[in-house]
Structure 1
Amino acid sequence: MVLKPEPTVPFHSVHSVLRVLEAVSKYGGGVTDLQITRETGLPAGHLAPLLSMLRREGYVQQITDGAYAIGDSLLLLLGSGAARQQAVEAKLRETLTELRDSVGAAVYISRYIDGEIKVTQVADGPHTPAVHEWVDFRSTGHASAIGKCLLVQLDQNGRRDHMSRHKIARFTSRTITSERLLFSRLDSQPPTVPVLDLQEYAVGTVCAAVPLTAGSAMGCLALSLPVEHAHRLRSAADTLNRGAAPVALSLTI
């Protein structure tokens, strides 16, 4: 089976989202999209779907005369202390659950922390089971979509350092076991194309991952599907990519 993912463009950068939220929060009585365009410099074609996403996620609300004001989700996240932390975690769980249901697959957030691959959140369910972690994910940088997506974000020295601590091992007949070939594949990976794992980590499972920009930490958003649903992987990966902005926003605010 050969599956070539189509290039996809991340729905919105978190930087653009934060600029819009900053502009909206300045005006207690609401602000029009024209004023937001003037203040942020974002083109109308970019701003319209961005505002639609922010309304859907509850970060802004549309009030009288088409003006926008901050929404309930943003008000909760702008709190402090334990209440804010609980609100952030609840919003992230809600966003991941909605994304899981949208792509019809288990969804994961992974971060590169202190030189290690760590899966920090998982949204799965009876009909969207998570992949069985039969080998510690920390040791699967060369084989998993999550690992490769994180390694893509490292420079050559960072990759070499990681691989010196996690030697390449063969997990299935599809696993890349040549460091030279692995690095060549990473170098040729287009930034707008989801990274795939076609039964390289586990027989019977295919995965996709996209970079997740949230602050300075490297991360990724991933999904897994049983191999019998491999025909859905491309469309699911595109949906995952479009859903990355709300997830990154929940991690950033």
Structure 2
Amino acid sequence: MPAPAASVLNTVVPGPAGPDGPAPTLIGSVQRALRLLEAVSVHTDGAPAKQLAREAGLPLPTAYHLLRTLTHEGYLRREQGVFVLGPAAARLGRGSCEQRRREAVLSTMERWRDTLGVAVYFAVYHDGEIEPTVLVESSEHPAVEEWADFRETAHAHAIGQCLLAQLDTGSRLDHLRRHPVEAITPYTVRDGASLLERLAAIERTRTVVEREQYMLGTACAAIPITLGRTAAVMAISVPLAQESRLAPAIERLSEEITEVVRSLMFSISI
């Protein structure tokens, strides 16, 4: 009977000491498992255990133990005597790609924050809810404080109104049944009927501007973006005293919207 997989998962290799003290302790079995995964990844059609052990520089018995463990955990699959990457490894790959795409989105939004001198937001409408997904701000350009849940107050801010305006009537009604209109400042729309009338008058491609409907002393604008079948928005906010900066900032952002959309075309898996 083969030794339990756990018997090869408890080897500890102390790291060498450095000028700032001991290096982090390294787990030898983890290092060996990663070398096996790397070896498998370069063989599109898979490779047998003996070849993988040789390429990873491992004794064959050790390679067998690790290959069984990695297969049990879903990181590998054994097909007709060879090992190929499994679904768990594929999920790791997708996560890495997703992270790179999100970093690209963040970089784009940070550039616009610094170029326009405003806080920048990106949000989507997903599974019947407003989902603020990315926000970039700075001490010089702070974002609007979320003092009332953005998801429950879509009627009161530019992001929510712009997203709701992209939905069909049935979806809007469904949203308002779950999140009834409630005035949260003296300038918030007063009831669902008034909101629906306002939304009906907004063109799907039109920028939405709101002043003090969500928070006193602030003005916000949201540009509608369609990412495939997903309703999305890019938004900016400024203190009400600087409202005159909204129009030129939105105009410049709108001129570059193609670049923005290209940067934002990532897999939305929230």
1:126 corresponds to which letter in structure 2?
S
The correspondence for 1:94, drawn from 98, 103, 107, is 107
Q: Distance in 2 between matches of 1:166 and 1:151?
A: 12
1:167 corresponds to which letter in structure 2?
P
The correspondence for 1:214, drawn from 224, 227, 244, is 227
The correspondence for 1:137, drawn from 139, 142, 150, is 150
Does structure 1 residue 104 correspond to structure 2 residue 117? Answer: yes
Unaligned runs of 5+ in 1: 1-79
Contact 1:106 1:122 in 2 (8 A): yes
After TM superposition, the score normalised by the length of structure 1 is 0.65
Where does residue 161 of structure 1 map in the other structure?
A: 174
Contact 1:99 1:243 in 2 (8 A): no
Contact 1:110 1:117 in 2 (8 A): yes
The correspondence for 1:184, drawn from 174, 197, 200, is 197
Contact 1:102 1:239 in 2 (8 A): no
When residues 156 and 81 of structure 1 are mapped into structure 2, their CA distance, relative to the original with a 3 A threshold, is closer
Bigger proportion of residues as strand: 2
Contact 2:208 2:222 in 1 (8 A): yes
1:160 corresponds to which letter in structure 2?
L
Task: Count residues with an aligned counterpart.
Answer: 174
1:181 corresponds to which letter in structure 2?
S
For the aligned residue pairs, the C-alpha RMSD in angstroms reads 1.6
Q: Distance in 2 between matches of 1:116 and 1:225?
A: 25
Where does residue 118 of structure 1 map in the other structure?
A: 131
- Secondary structure of 1:142's aligned partner: helix
When residues 81 and 154 of structure 1 are mapped into structure 2, their CA distance, relative to the original with a 3 A threshold, is closer
* Percent sequence identity over aligned pairs: 37
Higher relative contact order (CA 8 A, sep 6+): 1
After TM superposition, the score normalised by the length of structure 2 is 0.61
- Secondary structure of 1:169's aligned partner: coil
Tell me the CA shift for residue 87 of structure 1.
Answer: 2.5
Tell me the CA shift for residue 95 of structure 1.
Answer: 0.5
Does structure 1 residue 228 correspond to structure 2 residue 241? Answer: yes
Contact 2:165 2:203 in 1 (8 A): no
